[in-house]
Amino acid sequence: MRRLGTGLRGFARLFHIARTLLRWRLDELIEATRLFGWLRPLRGLIAPSPAGIESATRGERLRRALEELGPIFVKFGQILSTRRDLLPPDVAEQLALLQDRVSPFPGELARDAVEQALGKPVAELYARFDLEPLASASIAQVHAAALPDGREVVVKVLRPGIAERIETDLALLRGLGELAARYSPNAEHVRPLDVVAEIERTLRDELDFQREGANASTLRRFWLDSPDLYVPEVHWPWSAETVLTLERVHGIPSDNIAAIEAAGISREKLAAKAVTLFYQQVFRDNFFHADAHPGNVWVDPTRVDEPRFIALDFGIMGALPPADQYYLAANFEGIFTRDYRRIAELHIEAGWMPDTIRVDDLESAVRAVCEPYFTRPLAEISLGEVLVKLFKVAHRYQLTIQPQLLLLQKTLLNVEGLGRLLDPRLDIWAVAHPVLDRILREKYSFATVRREFEKRLPDIARNAPELPRLVHRWLEQQVHGEQVSRIRAEELAQLADGQRRGQRASVRAILGGSLVIAGTVLVALGGPGPTLLGVPWLAITVLAAGGLAFMAAARAAR
């Protein structure tokens, strides 16, 4: 019976989706609606269109249909809006405007949910709990309250039944993704199942307020006492997986230009800080707010001389693997300095493109994208737009876009849009380049490398005694032929000489690496015997031997 009920709910939801798509006349815009062609003759009866739909653009119709379908489809549209390399500009711009607003649920239900999650009556937990919500969205709504000591807070409460609704929608969305993957001519580039998986991951993260609280707490730690950004405090004793209690803050939405000017706050300073904050979060902290629309970024009205932003809603945060972080920063530097060959090389080195791509071809394509932008005044150039165009061109070269890079691209476009809204004359490049340059010099300096080495020294020292045994075992395998590549007979004769040189180079390189590691450990720990300028002679000798082994390896590889 439970399975039957689930199946009936799924069918009813599928019918509702079909009806909504037909009502907003999206038959030809979304390929999946062709599955519901049998409903089209009944459109006037089951799906009457709203007034004025004839004058609405296709992007606006799609946006309003997704908002009507609820949180899953809103998230689908928001994530799809980051794929500006695939979408027509008018559709991408409308999807970027998607708003997640729904009617509030009764405050009594919110109170009951808080009591169930925290295990105590609301009267014991809070000195005051307002049943009237401050804001309501499809996943949660927010209530004002006060802690027993009088501190003002907001309580974010998960919408009742939303988890079950999301599971039903996800199942349907996975089914539609499988159909699109099988029948869509653009499936290889759009990768609909990957998009669905990204939506699923994002939604599961947003359903867990413990995770959101941890995000807020981490961001607050990075920016504690900062004159540029304020992050409200998480009150953990009043928080759980479905309830999050945060310090209440007051501010001006960052797109309310009139209120910002009335408060006497410099829009120019705010615009420059918005860009600076983005680069610091991405490249210094590697932890950035990835949903930075004006509703989630306020301006502190109490900081007039030294403007400060206030961050809200920490359900979607971004971070990059160290390699991607480096390659992205180097790409930005390449764009700033118009080093197109370097950009092409970085795309291949990073593994974003197959290494079979010719660098000169890719360099030519990058130049064709970037050069037209440099005919404009620098104040009119958007790095986010350049990045979108690069991704679009790169699709011809089998570019594989990582989800974290798409999230960053979306955030960059939001930040640049906010900066230009606050100050239309903002020269984003003039602000961003020195910030990025300074961060990279600090991040990849010798002092930073030394600190990282010192941090990893215990692991190196622990594994150092194993190195001679591992080298000896590898050499034995080479002698006994245990690591011989299975190559076709006709290729073996041609490659034998190169293979022998490669084996000799490998042996010498491994020996050199072992000696360098051993010498470094001796330097760090202070080896026995006499020293030169504080460095043990034994360590100098071992390091020199390692260097000679590396030189011999280089000669053997020629």
Last residue of a domain, one of 77, 100, 123: 100
Query: Catalytic site residues?
Result: 291
DSSP structural state of residue 356 = T
pLDDT in the model for residue 88: 79
- Check pLDDT > 90 for residue 314: yes
Range of the domain at 479: 447-557
Q: Is residue 258 part of a domain?
A: no
- Write out the E strands in 114-183: 128-136, 140-146, 152-158
Q: Which letter does DSSP use for residue 234 in this model?
A: B
* CA pseudo-torsion sign 184, 190, 193, 196: negative
Residue 327 has pLDDT above 90, yes or no: no
Q: What average pLDDT does this structure show over 50-63?
A: 81
Q: Mention every residue, 6+ apart, whose C-beta is less than 8 A from residue 391.
A: 84, 85, 399, 401, 409
Tell me what the pLDDT averaged over the chain comes to.
79
Least confident of 17-31, 168-182, 290-304, 326-340: 17-31
Instruction: Indicate if 244 and 128 belong to the same structural domain.
Output: yes
Among the candidates 395, 413, 444, a domain finishes at: 444
pLDDT in tens, 108-153: 999 999 999 999 999 999 999 999 999 988 889 999 999 999 999 9
Does the predicted model carry a pTM greater than 0.85?
no
Please indicate, yes or no, if residue 177 is contained in any of the structural domains.
no
Rounded mean pLDDT, 163-174: 84
Q: Is residue 257, in this structure, part of any structural domain at all?
A: no
d(CA 177, CA 172): 9
Three-state DSSP state, 53: helix
Please answer whether residues 375 and 421 qualify as being in contact, where contact means their C-beta atoms are separated by less than 8 angstroms.
no
CATH code where residue 128 lies: 3.30.200.20
Domain count of the chain? 4
Same domain, 284 and 422: yes
pLDDT in tens, 172-228: 888 878 877 887 666 666 677 877 887 788 888 889 999 999 999 999 999 999 999
Most confident of 25-29, 106-110, 474-478: 106-110
Residues 494 and 383 in one domain: no
Q: How far is CA 404 from CA 198, 325, 392, 441, in A?
A: 10, 10, 17, 24
pLDDT exceeds 90 at position 65: no
Q: Are residues 224 and 89 in the same domain?
A: no
Q: Stretch 23-49: mean pLDDT, rounded?
A: 58
- In terms of phi and psi (left: phi > 0; alpha: psi -120 to 50; beta: otherwise), the region of 145 is beta
Residue 521 forms part of a structural domain = yes
